């Protein structure tokens, strides 16, 4: 509003009439300019200036008005500016010298004496200056939200408010975390400065701040918030004061990528041209705060539920938040240092003559005798005050002093009239003090100070005293009874003790009964499960096993104890007690942690009681039944025809002994009768993949059924290895099917003629094919989407790292894309756990050649492999990071095949030598420097110097944003 007014003002036409000669249009003036004609050897002009014109602003150049451009006109204001609002600069330009205030003086009649050097004699110019109103100016000093003045101590915060944010949330790893962040650090720590923050403060105890998000962590959190909500351009969090009154905080997050102007409209309304002002940040927060109070306030915030976890960096760790249980914000107005105001205490007050400066908007509250926006214009008159000054400290039987003080007048007489009509008079003095001893109710009424100055002008001011309170701790008609309230209760003359929230009783001696809190214990606590309820504000302190604002949320499955801080140790599907962590075992497991096996009851019976003959009969009986049901047939076949298979399974189990629990195959086994096969959708090195449908108890679902390509050792080994690794991933207690970026396992079929790994069907196929297809369309958009996929795969690698599993074949061809555009890591045929330090050959003298021969078979993706994998056959999570770097290279080229020095199929030894010489995949022409930096960091020779998958994820998120911004511009 203000800006548009100014704009109109600046573009207004300047109308000039004649005074001797034509006047020039002087564009530096601020407002409408009217010039009248010459009278009696002097020129009369009228100009206007807005009331909010800052000191230093040019009003008009008299020299230009007179069209005397060549002459230097010395001139001086000789009349009409009693309080020095204007001054004269070069070219006889009239300049605002001190703040104007149209409510104090809206017209000035300046008499300016102009000395003409060439012509003898001075010229008098009369300039009428109209001070025009500007909406919302001067700012109003609103007592409702006045803030204290802080006597600043070095190193303390520089905010008008101090605040504490407390959050409680669950992480994807099943932890419950508590976060407390206090706004008491210097501003730089918060990465806040005026360039990044635009603040609008109103007169009504409200302010809005627009804050461009730039810091890496903030950008990432904000970006993830967007992703987790599937929202396009805004996200809102509302906080309501606990008292349920007016105070409100709302935080809105805007993505500036929107091309629709209306999406950013709320921002523009607060700060016009905000994007340019904040230098086009990718994301913008808009805080709107209504704070019509002087007291500390607690806000409870409503955080929208997360559809995907978000990453949050705390001082200690980076965690993935899946649910925000509660957020509270405690705000306390602490004020700025003397002479400063604004949310960041970065604005300088203009108030003079001991005036108070309002913390919100810098409005001045003048002391007696002063007026104007800066309280620098004398206000002739008389003021009346008392000691003590606070009316609540004036009570029956006290002694008080009434002061009459004259300001900016030459006093003739000064008098004070008391309510009983008696008058005290002094002559010539500009101050009169009257002490009243042992005041009583009868002394209540008006006290009038009156002054008569030497020019016979009269000024008077009245104060009305209501002397009705008893002295401290006294009550009753005669103020002769004692209150003796306990705690912070107040003693009222008629009511007695007035209790603070949380206290009750005639003397406020008792705390609120259990289950109640607040003023007069009138509110019911909502705390559950034995939580302690704060008597004053109803805050719940949860007992062990529970959390949440009402303590009604049970600790997550694997957590127990106070604030859910203890990790459960129960094994084998046992249920962990949320309070004390004790384990309820599932048969046949027993023991404290349910990790000891209990002999089944029938075993000793069979051993001791059943004679051997009976046992044989029993076996024959069972065998007959099984035979009839076709089971023995399968078993027999397995033993005869699938010795190799069984051996492979044993081998895989031995390799992955640390990773998979025995019985893994049977736990996931289903029958081929439930599977209907469709068409072939993919051919891998070891297997083929067929689309199909699987009948489950929940109905039919689409699956991808992966089988062996050939019935040979290598294929079986890869098949079972993949199956076992996927089982290990899916049986991990922290695995979450809906959030994981690893392809979902739905079941295993392990029949002699049908062997399938049943996987969720990823309808968009593998990433390599997708990229090559998309390349022909919008390259930039495809790249952006692929960057998001890369972030997903970085997350998959983090999951594998947690499980100590290495994938060993991270590449675009092994990334599958689901219908809702989530990338999932697949093809675990080469995966292994890090405990199996498998070397393909012994590292003896001929080892390297042997290894190289193995690697050069079609099986091994040499160009994706790390240096150490090529040289020693060793795979680690860091070697997966190397391959991930190559995957990024594939993304940068939208699906080209990586080649070193243009050589498509180098020999293993040669490639290792190339890499040792420091040669790496070249930067693709279309790849940015930052992106190439990320991939290059994955190819460091020393595995431990490579970034972790989590670090890569962060950097990709950052790149993603930067790229989004670029493409949006």
- Give the footprint of ligand AMP on this chain (CB under 6 A): 681-682, 684, 687, 689, 704, 706, 743, 759-762, 765-766, 813-814, 816, 826-827
- The residue (of 414 and 786) whose beta carbon lies closer to ligand AMP is 786
- The residue (of 585 and 725) whose beta carbon lies closer to ligand AMP is 725
- The residue (of 551 and 762) whose beta carbon lies closer to ligand AMP is 762
- The residue (of 127 and 689) whose beta carbon lies closer to ligand AMP is 689
Q: Residue 174 Cβ, how far from ligand AMP at the closest point, in Å?
A: 27
Q: Quick one: which H or E segment has residue 912? A: helix 908-916
Q: Closest Cα to residue 895, out of 862, 926, 918?
A: 926
- The residue (of 257 and 818) whose beta carbon lies closer to ligand AMP is 818
Structure tokens at 516: 């109640």
Angle CA 653–659–661, to nearest 5: 65
- The residue (of 55 and 765) whose beta carbon lies closer to ligand AMP is 765
Q: Quick one: which H or E segment has residue 871? A: helix 867-872
Annotated catalytic residue, options 809, 827, 833, 880 = 809
Rounded Cα–Cα distance for residues 482 and 491 (Å): 9
What is the DSSP annotation of 655-702? HTTTTS-TTHHHHHB--GGGEEEEEEEEE-SSEEEEEEEEEETTEEEE
Rounded Cα–Cα distance for residues 15 and 552 (Å): 73
Sort 90 into a burial class: Cβ within 10 Å, 0-12 / 13-18 / 19+.
exposed
Q: Residue 701 Cβ, how far from ligand AMP at the closest point, in Å?
A: 12
- The residue (of 576 and 759) whose beta carbon lies closer to ligand AMP is 759
Rounded Cα–Cα distance for residues 358 and 348 (Å): 11
Task: Answer left, alpha or beta for residue 230, where phi above 0 means left and psi between -120 and 50 means alpha.
Answer: left
DSSP annotation of 19 reads: B
Rounded Cα–Cα distance for residues 444 and 840 (Å): 103
Angle CA 855–857–863, to nearest 5: 55
Q: Residue 765 Cβ, how far from ligand AMP at the closest point, in Å?
A: 5
Alpha-carbon separation of residue 285 from 219, 546, 625, 968 (angstroms): 11, 33, 71, 19
Q: Closest Cα to residue 401, out of 409, 389, 411?
A: 389
Which residues fall within 8 angstroms of residue 598, CB to CB, at 6 or more apart?
Answer: 587, 588, 589, 590
Structure tokens at 776: 């022909």
What residue has token string 């109209």?
Answer: 130
Rounded Cα–Cα distance for residues 673 and 665 (Å): 18
Structure tokens at 739: 């959030």
Catalytic: 809?
yes
Angle CA 83–87–93, to nearest 5: 145
- The residue (of 794 and 817) whose beta carbon lies closer to ligand AMP is 817
Sort 71 into a burial class: Cβ within 10 Å, 0-12 / 13-18 / 19+.
middle
Q: Residue 572 Cβ, how far from ligand AMP at the closest point, in Å?
A: 30
Give the ranges where 451-504 is alpha helix by DSSP (H): none
Rounded Cα–Cα distance for residues 642 and 647 (Å): 8
Q: Residue 953 Cβ, how far from ligand AMP at the closest point, in Å?
A: 23
Q: Residue 773 Cβ, how far from ligand AMP at the closest point, in Å?
A: 12
Q: 3-state SS string over 859-909?
A: CCCHHHCCHHHHHHCCCCHHHHHHHHHHHHHHHHCCCCCCCECCECCCCHH
Structure tokens at 788: 């998001």
- The residue (of 765 and 847) whose beta carbon lies closer to ligand AMP is 765
Q: Residue 814 Cβ, how far from ligand AMP at the closest point, in Å?
A: 6
Structure tokens at 883: 């391959």
Q: Quick one: which H or E segment has residue 413? A: strand 411-417
- The CB-nearest residue to ligand AMP is 682
HSE-CB at 900 with a 13 A cutoff on CA atoms is 20
- The residue (of 725 and 762) whose beta carbon lies closer to ligand AMP is 762
Q: Residue 674 Cβ, how far from ligand AMP at the closest point, in Å?
A: 17
Q: Closest Cα to residue 908, out of 815, 840, 844?
A: 840
Q: Residue 716 Cβ, how far from ligand AMP at the closest point, in Å?
A: 14
Q: Residue 651 Cβ, how far from ligand AMP at the closest point, in Å?
A: 20
Q: Residue 709 Cβ, how far from ligand AMP at the closest point, in Å?
A: 8
Give the ranges where 150-248 is alpha helix by DSSP (H): 216-229
Rounded Cα–Cα distance for residues 336 and 334 (Å): 7
Q: Residue 181 Cβ, how far from ligand AMP at the closest point, in Å?
A: 42
Rounded Cα–Cα distance for residues 828 and 720 (Å): 10
Are 348 and 356 in contact, with CB atoms under 8 Å apart? no
Are 769 and 890 in contact, with CB atoms under 8 Å apart? no
Rounded Cα–Cα distance for residues 660 and 698 (Å): 27
Report the Cα–Cα distance between both ends of the chain, in Å, rounded.
Answer: 28
Q: Residue 660 Cβ, how far from ligand AMP at the closest point, in Å?
A: 19
HSE-CB at 734 with a 13 A cutoff on CA atoms is 17
- The residue (of 817 and 952) whose beta carbon lies closer to ligand AMP is 817
- The residue (of 497 and 704) whose beta carbon lies closer to ligand AMP is 704
- The residue (of 824 and 920) whose beta carbon lies closer to ligand AMP is 824
Structure tokens at 279: 């230098």
- Please give the positions annotated as active site: 809
């Amino acid at each position: 509003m203000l800006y548009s007014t100014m704009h109109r003002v600046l573009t207004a036409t300047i109308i000039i009439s004649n005074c001797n000669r034509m006047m020039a249009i002087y564009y530096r003036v601020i407002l409408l300019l009217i010039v009248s004609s010459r009278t009696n050897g002097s020129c009369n002009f009228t100009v206007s200036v807005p009331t909010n014109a800052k000191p230093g602003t040019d009003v008009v150049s008299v020299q230009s008005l007179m069209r005397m451009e060549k002459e230097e006109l010395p001139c001086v204001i000789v009349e009409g500016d009693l309080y020095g609002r204007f001054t004269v600069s070069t070219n006889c330009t009239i300049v605002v010298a001190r703040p104007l205030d149209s409510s104090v003086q809206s017209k000035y009649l300046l008499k300016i004496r102009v000395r003409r050097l060439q012509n003898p004699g001075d010229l008098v110019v009369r300039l009428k200056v109209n001070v025009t109103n500007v909406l919302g100016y001067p700012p109003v000093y609103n007592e409702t939200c006045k803030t204290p003045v802080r006597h600043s101590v070095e190193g303390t915060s520089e905010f008008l408010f101090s605040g504490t944010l407390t959050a409680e949330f669950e992480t994807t790893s099943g932890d419950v975390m508590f976060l407390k962040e206090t706004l008491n650090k210097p501003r730089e720590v918060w990465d806040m400065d005026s360039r990044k923050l635009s603040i609008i403060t109103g007169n009504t105890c409200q302010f809005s701040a627009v804050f461009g998000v730039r810091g890496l962590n903030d950008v990432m959190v904000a970006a993830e918030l967007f992703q987790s909500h599937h929202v396009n351009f805004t996200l809102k969090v509302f906080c309501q004061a606990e008292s349920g009154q007016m105070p409100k905080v709302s935080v809105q997050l805007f993505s500036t990528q929107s091309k629709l102007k209306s999406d950013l409209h709320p921002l523009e309304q607060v700060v016009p041209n905000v994007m340019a002002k904040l230098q086009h940040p990718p994301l913008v927060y808009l805080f709107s705060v209504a704070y019509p109070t002087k007291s500390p306030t607690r806000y409870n915030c409503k955080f929208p539920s997360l559809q995907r976890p978000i990453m949050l960096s705390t001082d200690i760790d980076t965690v993935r938040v899946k649910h925000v249980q509660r957020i509270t914000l405690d705000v306390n107005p602490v004020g700025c240092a003397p002479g400063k105001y604004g949310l960041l205490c970065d604005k300088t007050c203009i108030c003079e003559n001991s005036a108070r400066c309002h913390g919100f908007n810098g409005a001045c509250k003048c002391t007696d005798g002063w007026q104007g926006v800066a309280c620098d214009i004398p206000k002739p008159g008389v003021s009346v005050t008392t000691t003590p000054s606070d009316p609540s400290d004036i009570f029956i039987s006290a002694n008080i002093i009434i002061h009459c003080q004259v300001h900016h007048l030459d006093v003739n007489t000064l008098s004070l009239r008391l309510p009983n009509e008696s008058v005290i008079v002094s002559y010539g003095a500009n101050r009169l003090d009257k002490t009243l001893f042992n005041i009583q109710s009868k002394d209540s009424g008006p006290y009038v100070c009156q002054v008569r100055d030497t020019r016979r002008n009269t000024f008077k001011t009245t104060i009305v005293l209501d002397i009705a309170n008893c002295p401290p701790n006294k009550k009753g008609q005669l103020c002769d009874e004692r209150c003796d309230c306990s705690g912070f209760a107040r003693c009222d003359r008629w009511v007695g003790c007035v209790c603070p929230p949380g206290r009750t009783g005639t003397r406020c001696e008792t705390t609120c009964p259990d289950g109640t809190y607040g003023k007069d214990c009138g509110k019911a606590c909502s705390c559950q499960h034995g939580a302690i309820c704060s008597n004053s504000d109803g805050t719940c302190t949860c007992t062990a096993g529970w959390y949440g604002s009402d303590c009604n949320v049970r600790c997550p499955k694997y957590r127990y104890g106070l604030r859910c801080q203890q990790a459960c140790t129960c094994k084998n599907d046992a249920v962990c007690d949320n309070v004390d962590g004790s384990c309820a075992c599932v048969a046949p497991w027993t023991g404290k942690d349910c990790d000891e096996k209990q002999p089944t009851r029938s075993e000793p019976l069979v051993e001791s009681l059943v004679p051997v003959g009976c046992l044989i009969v029993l076996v024959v009986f069972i065998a007959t039944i099984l035979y009839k049901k076709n089971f023995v047939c399968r078993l027999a076949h397995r033993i005869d025809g699938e010795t190799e298979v069984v051996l492979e399974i044993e081998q895989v189990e031995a390799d992955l002994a640390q990773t998979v629990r025995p019985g893994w195959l049977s736990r996931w086994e289903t029958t081929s009768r439930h599977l209907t096969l469709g068409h072939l959708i993919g051919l891998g090195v070891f297997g083929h993949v067929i689309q199909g449908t699987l009948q489950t108890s929940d109905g039919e679902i689409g699956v991808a059924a992966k089988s062996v390509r050939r019935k040979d050792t290598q294929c079986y080994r890869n098949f079972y290895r993949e199956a076992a690794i996927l089982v290990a991933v899916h049986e991990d207690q922290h695995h979450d099917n809906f959030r994981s970026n690893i392809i979902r396992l739905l079941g295993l079929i392990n029949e002699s003629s049908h062997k399938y790994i049943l996987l969720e069907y990823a309808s968009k196929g593998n990433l390599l094919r997708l990229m090559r297809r998309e390349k022909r369309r919008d390259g930039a958009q495809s790249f952006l989407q692929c960057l998001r996929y890369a972030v997903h795969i970085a997350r998959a690698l983090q999951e594998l790292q947690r499980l100590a599993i290495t994938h060993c074949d991270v590449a675009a061809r092994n990334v599958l894309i689901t219908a809702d555009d989530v990338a999932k890591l697949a093809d675990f045929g080469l995966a292994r756990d890090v405990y199996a330090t498998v070397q393909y050959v012994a590292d003896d003298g001929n080892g390297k050649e042997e290894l190289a021969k193995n690697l050069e078979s079609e099986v091994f993706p040499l160009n994706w492999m790390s240096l150490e994998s090529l040289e020693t056959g060793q795979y680690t999570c860091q070697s997966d990071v190397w391959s991930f770097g190559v995957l990024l290279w594939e993304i940068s080229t939208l699906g080209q095949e990586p080649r070193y020095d243009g050589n498509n199929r180098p020999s293993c030894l040669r490639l290792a030598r190339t890499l040792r010489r420091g040669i790496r995949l070249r930067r693709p022409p279309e790849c940015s420097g930052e992106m190439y930096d990320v991939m290059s960091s994955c190819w460091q020779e020393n595995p431990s110097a490579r970034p972790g998958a989590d670090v890569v994820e962060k950097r990709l998120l950052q790149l993603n944003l930067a790229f989004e911004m670029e493409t949006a511009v």
